[in-house]
Structure 1
Amino acid sequence: MKIFLDCEFTQLNQDSKLISIALVSESGAEFYVELTDTYSVESCSDFVIQHVLPQLDCLRYGQTLVEARVSLRRFLSGFDEELEVCSDAPNWDWDFFVDLVDVKHQPWPAQVMNQPTNLISLFSQINTEALEHIELRDLPHHALLDARVLAELFNTLVSQLKVSS
């Protein structure tokens, strides 16, 4: 089963800190958490301060890093099938996912493939005719909403490819 990953983080550099992470499965199961103890507003880029932080709801979704690690493990253990983690930005999102899985202290989750699928590469292999019928909208810079958009885009493309074959 494909599971779509998206993250929001403080800035585009090697010192970046995770702000929020979301996973949306093909079956519709969702995981979303906003971290309350991994970053400060001062470490965020102006873009993140203007576009990402105003969308957060820490009272509803906030968890410490320790709590988020437990929640993520619980979510992943709810699947029996093998999970293929897909991201449109695996060079960024995958490292945050791996850190949250906490492989330094626990074994890798058995049902999760240990490398990401790059959605941009996957989408570029899809018939351009199928892509013509898709209206691409800007991602809202909210991890859960973005992961939902990626899942929806993938499911739409797969269904169009089935219809055209």
Structure 2
Amino acid sequence: MLLFLDTEFTGLDQPNPSLISLALVKEDGDFFYAELPPSFYTHRASDWVQENVLPHLWGGSYRMRPEELSRKVCAWIEAIPGQTVIVTDAPDYDFEQMLKPLLSPWPQNLAKTPMLFDRLILGGRYQEKLATFRDAYFTPDKPEHHALHDAQALRRAWLWGKEFEGLEDLLCMGMRNN
């Protein structure tokens, strides 16, 4: 099972950015989404994040402390039958810095290395089409820079891209290059 990952965090230009929200979307569309309380990130959020990410957060029952988020995301992954692999377009940030530290103990069914999937993976011929297809997911009700919407858009792009012969090989190459 592939799990499409996206996170939002306090800023790309920070040496140790703080997690704001996290989403995992299964191939079938089922998802896990969570946000940390504002006290964990507001003081560190860049101006760009304050304008483009924070206004889209849902709060309410999706908001949880890091310990609860860690327990819930591990349990959610472990409840998936069979082996699972994370698919991300930003493995260094979303996987290494944001998700990996939360996974303790590491879910037994989760691969330790994510697969890279971004618009570049299909090569120059399809980059623009893949980006256009992914971006068409976003609407005023499903804005970009919301972890769940971004993960769902990544899944949508993968579903479109998997029609191309050799995509599995490209994904495996992305996995080896991380």
Q: Is the TM value for this pair above 0.5?
A: yes
Provide closer, same or farther for how the CA distance between residues 75 and 22 of structure 1 changes in structure 2, counting only shifts above 3 A: same
Deviation at 1:38, TM superposition (A): 6.6
Distance 1:38 1:117 in 2: 32
CA contact (8 A) 2:134 2:156 kept: no
Distance 1:38 1:147 in 2: 24
SS at match of 1:5: strand
Distance 2:50 2:129 in 1: 34
* 1:91-118 deviations in Å (ceiling 9; x for gaps): 101121111112xxx2x21110001111
Q: Which residue of structure 1 lines up, in the alignment, with residue 18 of structure 2?
A: 17
Distance 1:29 1:146 in 2: 14
The CA RMSD over aligned residues, in Å, is 2.3
Q: Which residue of structure 1 lines up, in the alignment, with residue 121 of structure 2?
A: 124
More moved, 112-121 vs 130-139: 130-139
Q: Which residue of structure 2 lines up, in the alignment, with residue 76 of structure 1?
A: 77
SS at match of 2:48: helix
Deviation at 1:26, TM superposition (A): 0.5
Distance 2:9 2:86 in 1: 18
Deviation at 1:51, TM superposition (A): 0.8
CA contact (8 A) 2:19 2:41 kept: no
CA contact (8 A) 1:17 1:38 kept: no
1:98 aligns with 2:100: yes
Runs (4+) off by over 6 Å: none
* 1:28-72 deviations in Å (ceiling 9; x for gaps): 220000011672312110010001111112213100111111110
Deviation at 1:128, TM superposition (A): 3.0
CA contact (8 A) 1:10 1:39 kept: no
CA contact (8 A) 2:34 2:63 kept: yes
Q: Which residue of structure 2 lines up, in the alignment, with residue 147 of structure 1?
A: 151
Q: Which amino acid aligns with 1:14?
A: P
Q: Which residue of structure 2 lines up, in the alignment, with residue 87 of structure 1?
A: 88
CA contact (8 A) 1:11 1:48 kept: yes
Provide closer, same or farther for how the CA distance between residues 81 and 42 of structure 1 changes in structure 2, counting only shifts above 3 A: same
CA contact (8 A) 1:52 1:142 kept: yes
Structure 1: 5+ residue stretches without partners:
none
Q: Which residue of structure 1 lines up, in the alignment, with residue 111 of structure 2?
A: 113
Number of matched residues?
A: 156
Q: Which residue of structure 2 lines up, in the alignment, with residue 57 of structure 1?
A: 58
Q: Percent identity?
A: 28
SS at match of 1:86: strand
Q: Paired residue for 2:164, among 139, 158, 161?
A: 161
Distance 2:161 2:39 in 1: 36
More moved, 73-82 vs 130-139: 130-139
